[in-house]
Amino acid sequence: MLSAEQKRFYNENGYLLVENAVTAEQLERLREITYRLIDASREVTESNEVYDLDAGHSAEAPRLTRIKLPHKRDPYFWDLIRDSKLTEVLTDLLGPHTNLLTSKLNTKAPGGGRAVEWHQDWAFYPATNDSLLAFGLMLEDVDEANGPLMVIPGTHKGPILSHMANGYFAGAIDPDDPLFERAKAVTLTGKAGDMTVHHARILHGSAPNMSDRNRLILFYECSASDAWPILGASSYIHSLGQRAYWDDVQERQITGEPQLQARMADVPVVMPLPPAPDTGSIFKTQESAGAKSAFG
C-alpha cells in the first residue's frame, strides 16, 4: 500500500497523509452510521459511556466532542480496520501483528467546538517499545477553519515534554515550555476519505472548530503486538484481572497473533501520575487539571 518514500517520510517526520484511504462506498457507509449515532445523542443530557457532550448540546442541536469506542457501537468500524486499505497501511508501518488500543469518533461541533491541547499520545500510555500510531480518517472535508490536526515534525524522536499542571497529569503540555516550537507546526487538511497517520510520540493538537460545519474524524489508535503497556499508564486494563486481560487482548487483535515476548526498547517513559481529578476523556483530563491553553 505505502511506497518506500511514504515509509521513509513517516519514519523521518512522524506523520503522513494518505489520500483516498477508503472507497466511496465505505465512506458513504461510515457517514451514514456516524450521523445516525449523532442523531441518537439528542436524547442524552449528560456525557456517558457512549457520548462526550459539548457545551450547548440539546435535542434540537446536538453538540458532541466525541463518540467513544465506535468499533463497539457498530461492527462496521471494526470490520474497516481489520480488512481495508487501513489494514495495509497499518501492517506496512507496524508489521504483521497488530492490536487496537482504542477508537474514537471526534465530532468537533461547529461554531467553537472544543480544542485538543498540544500533547503526545505516548505520555498517556507508555509501553515496552514505541511502535504505536494513530489513524485519523476524515469523514468530511477538513480545512483550516474547522480545527484540523496539527503536528510538529520530528518530535517523535525527541523527549516527552512535561504534561503536568497543578500537580496532576494534565494530558497537555505547557505552551510556554521552551521545547515547544509552535512555529514548526504543520497543519493536516484533506478531503473526506483522506487519512492522517501520526506516531504516538509526536507533538500534536487541534484548535477549536470555528466553521459552520462539523469536523468528523474517526481515530484508531494501534500498536504492534509486542508493545505491551506499562503498569500505571492511563488505561481501563487496570480494572481487569489476568484472565480477563488476556481475553481482552485477543478481542483487540487486528492482524496476526498476540506476541507474548515483549520487545523492550530504550524509550523515554514518564508515568502519567497522579491522575487528574476527572479522567473521563482527554477533554476532561485537560480541563480538570487546569491545563494552560495554547489556543487563547
**Is the CB of residue 128 less than 8 Å from the CB of residue 193?**
no
The per-residue pLDDT for range 68-89, each reduced to its tens digit, is 999 999 999 999 999 999 999 9
- pLDDT of residue 17 exceeding 90, the answer is yes
Domain assignment present for residue 12? The answer is yes
Domain assignment present for residue 31? The answer is yes
Between the alpha carbon of residue 135 and those of residues 132, 193, 268, the distances in Å are 10, 12, 22
For cell 482527554, what's the residue?
282
Query: How many structural domains are present in the chain?
Result: 1
Residue 130 has which C-alpha cell? 514505541
pTM, two decimals, is 0.96
Per the DSSP assignment, residues forming a β-bridge with 102 are 221
**Is the CB of residue 68 less than 8 Å from the CB of residue 221?**
no
The per-residue pLDDT for range 101-130, each reduced to its tens digit, is 999 999 988 887 788 999 999 999 999 999
**pLDDT for the residue numbered 180:** 97
**pLDDT for the residue numbered 81:** 98
Domain assignment present for residue 293? The answer is no
Domain assignment present for residue 90? The answer is yes
Mean per-residue pLDDT for 194-211?
Answer: 96
85 Cβ neighbours under 8 A, 6+ residues apart: 1, 18, 21, 22
Domain of 197: which CATH number? 2.60.120.620
**pLDDT for the residue numbered 28:** 98
Domain assignment present for residue 294? The answer is no
Mean pLDDT of the chain: 95
Domain assignment present for residue 295? The answer is no
CA–CA dist 34, 252 (Å, integer): 21
Mean per-residue pLDDT for 242-251?
Answer: 96
Q: How far apart are the first and last CA of the chain?
A: 40
CA–CA dist 7, 13 (Å, integer): 10
CA atoms within 13 A on the CB side of 109: 19
Q: Are strands 253-255 and 164-165 parallel, antiparallel or unpaired?
A: unpaired
What is the number of other CB atoms lying within 10 angstroms of the CB of residue 176? Answer: 8
- pLDDT of residue 296 exceeding 80, the answer is no
The per-residue pLDDT for range 273-282, each reduced to its tens digit, is 999 999 988 9
Domain assignment present for residue 61? The answer is yes
Residue 139 has which C-alpha cell? 469523514
**pLDDT for the residue numbered 280:** 86
Of residues 242 and 280, more confidently modeled = 242
CA atoms within 13 A on the CB side of 126: 18
What is the pLDDT confidence band of residue 235, given thresholds at 50, 70 and 90?
confident
Host domain of residue 178: 4-288
CA–CA dist 191, 245 (Å, integer): 38
